[in-house]
Amino acid sequence: MAQVDKEAVKRFLLQLQDNICAELEVADGEASFIEDAWSRELGGGGRTRVLKGGAIIEQGGVNFSHVFGDKMPGSATAHRPELAGRKFEAMGVSLVIHPNNPFIPTSHANVRFFIAEKEGSEPIWWFGGGFDLTPFYPFHDDCQHWHDTAKQLCAPFGADVYAEHKKWCDDYFFLPHRNETRGVGGLFFDDLNQWGFEKSFAYMRAVGEGFTKGYLPILEKRKDTLYTEQHRQFQLYRRGRYVEFNLVYDRGTLFGLQSKGRTESILMSMPPLARWEYNYQVEEGSHEALLYKEYLSPREW
């Protein structure tokens, strides 16, 4: 089995953050990312980069973090009890983009690497990550392009990879209390080590680099679509679902908070504006109703 190369993973993640930020700045055409470098008292730190008030992006963040410590947080050992008593390192890039225009979907991606070590024992390590798309006013062509990008990057790694990781994404980004998916999915994977280090790392790289290939063409296509205040208010209402998922169900948020990471960086994924409305009902036959009817339950692409 190939030796685990933590430094190679870290180098890739830092470069991935740089590349994605550069591409998003070009796509926005107006605003730039500001960076906050931070350190964690218990070990590690990161680079948080946020773009606000852009021509296209209302708020977006692209974060790198590398944290380590002597004890895994409860959110990790709850799923992997064999990790108890081991030192750990966790590193990754995570991003969320909240556009101004309601016709451009919100998007999220992350790639990450965990390793837990104990003297005298083999290290336990895995990769995880994925990306997903959350449209408010969905277009079939956009969603198809998103999933086609996912299919293409998965193809070299096995005939069943897309189907498995697509279903995992549908299952993960689901709000049981609303009985709906967060969006139209994409890819999600975790605990990936069965392929060995080199192949698993290559897949993580492909997913990380695939995000802008999937997202930027949609952003470019929809950025000049005219919208009304009604469209904007529906966008803000649906952003509330994003908040509900991230604060109630998201493992990354829980891990970050339980491992005493930087709160501002962890909650960077929250939209700058959102709203809730009691017993909101969409008008039958409307574009808003189309979202509920055709796009908030798992489907094949």
Strands of the sheet containing 87-99, edge to edge, are 34-39, 44-52, 57-69, 87-99, 106-117, 124-134, 185-192
Q: Where are the alpha helices (DSSP H) in 135-282?
A: 140-154, 161-172, 197-222, 229-248, 251-258, 263-266
Bridge partners, residue 38, by sequence: 46
For the question of residue 66 being annotated catalytic, the response is no
Residue ranges for the binding site for a divalent metal cation? 98, 108, 147, 177
Residue ranges for the binding site? 94, 98, 108, 110-112, 147, 177
> How many CA atoms lie less than 13 Å away from 257 in the CB half-sphere?
12
Q: Which three-class secondary structure state does DSSP give residue 194?
A: coil
Contact 46, 66 (CB under 8 A): yes
Structure tokens at 169: 């994404």
Of residues 66, 79, 108, 287, which has the active-site annotation? 108
How far is the C-alpha of 107 from the C-alpha of 113, rounded, in Å? 21
How far is the C-alpha of 261 from the C-alpha of 39, rounded, in Å? 9
Length of the chain equals 301
| Catalytic residue ranges | 108
